[in-house]
Amino acid sequence: MKNNTYEIPAALKAAAKEAYGKAYAPYSQFHVGSAALTTQGNIVQGCNVENASYGLTICAERNCIGHAVANGEQSFQMIVIYTEQDKLTPPCGACRQVIAEFFEQSAPVIAINHKDEQQVWTVAQLLPDAFTPKDLLEL
Ligand code: THU
């Protein structure tokens, strides 16, 4: 599902862009906003939060998912990643693992930018044969 035509709800795009404006990225200057649509139809937001101890940085996508879980939601329809880069920003490896924990294999992960370009992947495309709850729990 790598294409340029996926229909993203306007409110979800707007939420990712709004979250981008809240990013804390004084070291990389690479701001990222994320928004996810939960199975219940709610929108949750996240941004990257860097730290003077660089390795403690949390990416926008993991922040978004953590935010949702803290608000009582653990399943999602899709997640959007917004940057103001000419290149579309794919989720890092750590975020792919966390996305795989909570999203269906077929769920869309969508990178968008300020030029309204988009790239869509499924969770399975981003992390094939992922280690997930099914490998630990009786699911
Ligand atoms: N970053 C994200 O927030 N999400 C991604 O998908 C890629 C990377 C952040 C982490 C760090 O604050 C900055 O972008 C540069 O790596």
pLDDT band at 138 (very low <50, low <70, confident <90, very high): confident
Catalytic residue numbers, as ranges: 61
- Ligand 1 pocket (Cβ < 6 Å) reads 25, 28, 30, 32, 48, 50, 57, 59-61, 81, 89, 91-92, 95
Q: What is the rounded distance in angstroms from the CA atom of residue 11 to the CA atom of residue 15?
A: 6
Q: What is the pLDDT of residue 4?
A: 64
41: left (phi over 0), alpha (psi -120 to 50) or beta: left
User: Tokens for 135?
Assistant: 């490998």
Q: What is the pLDDT of residue 1?
A: 45
Length reported for the chain:
139
Q: Which among 75, 93, 88, 79 is positioned nearest to 19, based on CA atoms?
A: 79
User: Which pLDDT tens digit goes with each residue over 21-55?
Assistant: 999 999 999 999 999 999 999 999 999 999 999 99
pLDDT band at 5 (very low <50, low <70, confident <90, very high): confident
- For residues 28 and 3, the answer to whether their CB atoms sit within 8 Å is no
User: Which pLDDT tens digit goes with each residue over 116-135?
Assistant: 999 999 999 999 999 999 99
Each domain of the chain, given as residue ranges in start order, spans 10-135
In 10 A of CB 130, how many CB atoms? 16
* Superfamily for domain range 10-135: Cytidine Deaminase, domain 2 (3.40.140.10)
Q: Which of 45, 48, 61, 87 to mutate to test the pocket of ligand 1 (most atoms within 8 A of CB)?
A: 48
Q: For 122-128, which contacts have Cβ atoms below 8 Å and span 24 or more sequence positions? A: 122/1, 123/96, 123/99, 125/1, 125/2, 126/90, 126/91, 126/96, 126/99, 126/100, 127/96, 127/97, 127/99, 127/100
Nearest atom in ligand 1 to 81's CA: 6
